[in-house]
Amino acid sequence: MNAPRPKDHPDIKTGKVGVLLVNLGTPDGHDPRNMRRYLEEFLTDKRVIEWPRAFWYPILYGIVLNTRPKKSGHAYATIWNNEKNESPLRTFTRSQAEKLQDALGAHESVIVDWGMRYGKPSIESRLNALKELGCERIVVFPLYPQYSAATTATVNDKAFEALMKMRWMPAIRTVPPYHDDPDYIEALALSIEKHLAALDFEPEKVLASYHGIPLSYFRKGDPYHCHCLKTTRLLNERLAKRGNWPQGRLMTTFQSRFGPEEWLQPYTDKTVEQLARDGVKSIAVFNPGFVSDCLETLEEIAIQAAESFHEAGGENFTHIPCLNDSAEGMNVIETAVRRELAGWV
C-alpha cells in the first residue's frame, strides 16, 4: 500500500508541458515614471552593458535615467497601441502565444504562455504560473533568430534564475537560434516579395537592418554578427532564385547603437543617408532580427530612417513589417516549438 500523504502536503498539479515565448520587453506606459523603471531594468543588465559597474552606474543614474525616459517616452508615444493602451510588442507577443496555443490545440497537455525579459509579465512570474498549472516540462523560447549574449543568453539567465528559487524544478529546454532555418528564410522572402509586389515603385536597394551590438562583444566571441550575415546570404540566395533580383540589391546594416563605443557596421542611419546622397531614389528596409514590430522598427526605421532618407534627397521609402503574427511568422514559431516538443508530447 502507498503511504498516506501528510495532511499539510500542498496539492501539486502535474502532467502538463509548457511553452513560454519570451520577447525583449516593454514599458507599461510611455510616461517618464514607467519609462525610467523599464530602462533601469534594461540598462542594469550586465549582458546588455558590460562596462564595470563603478564606471557605468554614475553615468546611468546621473545622466541617462534623468534624460532618456522623456526622450524614449516621446518615441513610444508615436507608435503606441492606444486602443489597448500598450506597446505593439506586447500586442504581437500576446497574439503569437494565442495563435500558437490554437495551433497546438490537438495536444491538450500543452499550455502556451508569454513573457518579457524586461518589464511585465516577467519570465519568473510566467514560469511559476506554468508550474502551478502542472507543467513538469517547459520549453523556453527566446524570440531572437540570431543569437547574442545580450538577447538570447540573458533570457536564459533569467529563466534559470527563476528555477533556482524552486524546490521542485520543471525540466527545461531552450529553443536555439534559428537564423539559418529554411522556414525562417522562406518566411522572410515571402514577406519581402508580397510587400514589394504591392508598391507603386521598385526599390533600388533593400536593407536588412539588424539591431547592433558593440564591436567589443563581437571580438569577445559573440556569434551574432556571423548569424546576421548568414541570414542575409541565405535570404539573398532564396530571393535570387525567383524573379528579378539584381546582385547587390540586398544590403546588411546595423541600427540602435548606444554610447561612445564603436558598434557593428555599416550603420543603418548612415547608410540610408549616404544612399540618398549617392542618387538612390527608392529603398526598402526590413528587420530580420526582430520577430515583432516594436520601437526599433516602427519609430527608428519607419519614421526616423524615412525622414533621413527624404531629407538627404531620396524619394521613395518603405518599411517592410516584421513577421509578427502573420501566417508565415507563426509557421516559423510553430515549427521551432514542435521540434523541441518532440518526445515530450
Q: Give ∠ CA 336-342-345 in degrees, rounded to 5.
A: 115
> pLDDT tens, position by position, for the chain (345 residues)?
555 666 665 666 778 999 999 999 999 999 999 999 999 999 999 999 999 999 999 999 999 999 999 999 999 999 999 999 999 999 999 999 999 999 998 778 999 999 999 999 999 999 999 999 999 999 999 999 999 999 999 999 999 999 999 999 999 999 999 999 999 999 999 999 999 999 999 999 999 999 999 999 999 999 999 999 999 999 999 999 987 899 999 999 999 999 889 999 999 999 999 999 999 999 999 999 999 999 999 999 999 999 999 999 999 999 999 999 999 999 999 999 999 999 898
Residue with cell 542618387: 279
User: What per-residue confidence (pLDDT) applies to 107?
Assistant: 76
Q: What are phi and psi of 211, to 5 degrees?
A: -65, 140
The pLDDT assigned to 108 comes to 83
CB-based burial of residue 341 (10 Å sphere; 0-12 exposed, 13-18 middle, 19+ buried)?
middle
Q: pLDDT tens digits for 124-167?
A: 999 999 999 999 999 999 999 999 999 999 999 999 999 999 99
What per-residue confidence (pLDDT) applies to 9?
Answer: 57
Q: What is the pTM of this model?
A: 0.95
Name 10's Cβ contacts closer than 8 Å, sequence gap at least 6: none
Query: For residue range 168-193, what is the model confidence (pLDDT) as tens digits?
Result: 999 999 999 999 999 999 999 999 99
Residue type, 293: D
Q: Is 146 helix (H, G, I), strand (E, B) or coil?
A: coil
Q: If 0-12 CB within 10 Å is exposed, 13-18 middle and 19+ buried, where does residue 67 land? A: exposed
Domains identified in the chain and CATH numbers: 16-178+327-341 (3.40.50.1400), 182-320 (3.40.50.1400)
